[in-house]
Structure 1
């Protein structure tokens, strides 16, 4: 029963996120010849966003948006007053739009393998960075989400059983 309720709640939350994404237009500034940018646009559409592309490059809009060169990548997106630089995963953008922090936006600097639009079979660790001030240097940003496919997941300990063993002589403590 708990699993069913959890599944219903998760589906509802995903529905709310998808609905929010569907009502939000993303303006993407990119080179007309950039294949990875086009793949990122597809990733955003797959997550319910309406995307309008501007094939004019992104250096000017990056500068106007307050994104420093140290945080730069191959495309810049504008959405609900935020700037999104590079291959930021859609779930992080949905989270940003939901939480509405006081920020310039998010960045995945450079072009790490394994980010949306940069799928090549190789997956590198990378960080989604929260940019809180205009022209902020990379070293002064906050990590918004860390992706590390090589990190070992913590093993959860099985809960102790407070019930006596079959013979009734041993009790496990929590």
Structure 2
């Protein structure tokens, strides 16, 4: 086999491994069975992360949030577990990509408190709020990123 052909084959193998790795992120979303915005967030996340979201209906979302350490002031409607991180509420896929890339020390997860208009799953034509994606963990909570609608506007 020529070195050029071997190089091309290795490049294709590398690209295939990278795309498989990106899709290998496991995502489980806990939600109230009656909530529709959770499914809209899951669709956004599946597209943005190129992965599948396993939706689990839970009759006691407060227990789910407490079990995963979501701070009271950061509560939203659904809670997802993404590669070991807790993702609370309408966090954009772009913010989770940054979290998985950087893996900051002491961060347990990300949250978007409440249900801001224009956030993933809460889209309303012509209405977008600015909101913070908050990192939380052993050292407390701090702003990880700021979004307006689905657009990252500050880091």
Does TM, scored on the shorter chain, surpass 0.5?
yes
**Tell me, what secondary structure is at the counterpart of 1:84?**
strand
Larger radius of gyration: 1
Matched, 1:101 2:132: no
The runs of at least 4 consecutive aligned structure 1 residues that moved more than 3 Å come to 18-21
How far the C-alpha of 1:20 sits from its partner, in A, is 4.3
Q: Deviations over 1:65-102 (max 9, x none)?
A: 11112110000001111100000000110111111112
Q: For 1:49 and 1:128, how far apart are their aligned partners in 2?
A: 21
1:38-77 equivalent positions in 2, closer than 5 A: 38-47=39-48, 48-57=50-59, 58-77=61-80
1 or 2, which has the higher strand percentage? 2
**Tell me, what secondary structure is at the counterpart of 2:104?**
coil
Matched, 1:92 2:95: yes
How far the C-alpha of 1:148 sits from its partner, in A, is 3.7
Give unmatched runs, 5+ long, in structure 1.
Answer: 1-15, 154-174
**Which residue matches 2:32?**
31
- How many residues are treated as equivalent by the alignment? 130
What's the C-alpha RMSD, in Å, of the aligned pairs? 2.1
Is the contact between residue 39 and residue 117 of structure 1 (CA under 8 Å) also seen in structure 2? yes
Q: TM-score, normalised by structure 2?
A: 0.77
Q: TM-score, normalised by structure 1?
A: 0.69
Give unmatched runs, 5+ long, in structure 2.
Answer: 1-17
